[in-house]
Amino acid sequence: MGPDLTSKRWIVAKGILFALLAALSGALIVWVDFPTLHRALLLGICVWAACRFYYFLFHVLHAYVDPTLPSAGVMDLVKHLIKKWRG
């Protein structure tokens, strides 16, 4: 694994590329196979809910529930919770 990304410009560029990838893949899911407004709405709700859950995992839990929770990624959080649960 390489070094951490530290350039603010590249971090922003990476975020923009993720947003473009999400928009393009969402559009392709909705419009290529069987285009309906209903499908677009369901996909939008799915993406919105997934984003809110991610925010919950890495901000809400850390800020309001347990400041010792790691925020390096989902797997680190799961490992931490398993260790805490086992005692």
* CA distances for 49 relative to 43, 46, 55, angstroms: 10, 5, 10
Which pLDDT tens digits describe the chain residue by residue (87 residues)?
Answer: 567 878 888 888 888 898 898 888 888 888 787 778 888 888 889 899 989 988 888 788 778 877 877 766 778 878 888 888 887
Please count the other Cβ atoms lying within 10 Å of the Cβ belonging to residue 30.
19
Please count the other Cβ atoms lying within 10 Å of the Cβ belonging to residue 66.
11
**Separation CA 58–CA 77 (nearest Å):** 9
At 19 the pLDDT is 86
At 1 the pLDDT is 59
At 38 the pLDDT is 86
At 2 the pLDDT is 65
* CA distances for 75 relative to 29, 72, 79, angstroms: 27, 8, 6
